[in-house]
Every structure is written in structure tokens, then in C-alpha cells.
Copies of this chain bind each other. A is one copy, B any other.
């Protein structure tokens, strides 16, 4: 079974984007394990806003060697050649993709798109690149969800203060015994 992975940069206060689409707090001095991560990915899934933000950053689609699927309820969206656009339900489509053979599926973002996938228990891996800053405003990764337990699968820290934490979803894990 292919795994669906949510790999995101966050602040200490759990924001993935600062106020007014602010990305100026993100570290770009090194790769922080991203090229290793992306090497295992063959498919990207994302919401429309993430897609449009990625295009605003770079006129050329940066992931031409991957299958890229944009989910939208907007009939007007004119995709570029390298991406597929679907108006189908993300949970149904992603469940189908996970049943196929292939590499890792990267949940490229954003939070609104990730929510139903997390709530359906479809996110297998969570990679958080935690930046050493309290942004104090912006859009959080998580909102209202059912409780979900994970296993810690990796910890890496860098001299800049970035900590990369990798978690695997464990649907069988329960709360700890109480004293």
C-alpha cells in the first residue's frame, strides 16, 4: 500500500503560512532532508490554493517528473500542462491512489485540503519542519479534528534551529494508562 505523506514547514506556534501569505520566515539555506523525501514521491495531491501559490513562486511547475493532481470545486481553474485537475472528492480519489502500486504520495497542502484526509485516517506520515519562531499570526496546520495518535519515526535537528520530526499514523494506538 502506498503511503500518503504530509510534509510541511511550521512555526513553533503551528502556523504554515504567516499573515497575508507571509513565507519570509522559511529557511532556504539548505535542503533540510527534502531532496531525500521527494526522491520517494511519485505523486503530489494538493488543493487549489496551494497550487496557485506554488505557481506564483515559480512560473515553471517544479515537479514535472511527478504526477500532480489539483483538487478544486472551482470550474474556472485553467491548469497548466503538467498538472491534472479534478473536481472529485479528495477522500475517494486518494483512497483509490493508495490502492494502486507506486511510490509515496505527497500531500503538498494546504491545511483546508488536508483536513478531510487526516480525519478519514488517510495520512500515514507527518513530517514537520519546525522553524524556531513564534510567528504569532497566520494560518495553522491543524484545526478541529478527531483525536489521532502517531508513532515517532524520526528526529533531525540542524544548527539553524530547525527540527524535522517524522511521525507515522497508528490507528491502533490509544491513550496512555492514567495514574
Contact = CB atoms under 8 A, between A and B. Distances in A.
Determine chain A's interface SS by DSSP, over half rule.
loop
A163 B166 CA distance: 11
- Size class of A's contact patch? 35 or more
Interface in A1-47: 12-14, 24-29
A96 interface: no
Interface of A: 12-14, 24-29, 118, 126, 128, 130, 132-137, 140-142, 144-152, 155, 157, 160-163, 165, 167, 175-179
Given A24-B178, A134-B118, A152 B144 contact: no
Contact of A133 (B26, B28, B133, B148): B148
Contacts of A140: 13-14
A149 B161 CA distance: 10
Nearest to A29: B176
Nearest to A179: B28
B163 A152 contact: yes
B145 A133 contact: no
Contacts of A161: 150-152, 167
Contacts of A167: 12, 132, 161
26 contacts: A12-B128, A12-B150, A13-B140, A13-B141, A13-B145, A14-B14, A14-B142, A24-B175, A29-B176, A118-B134, A130-B165, A132-B150, A132-B152, A133-B147, A133-B148, A134-B145, A134-B147, A134-B150, A135-B147, A136-B144, A136-B148, A137-B145, A151-B161, A152-B161, A152-B163, A155-B157
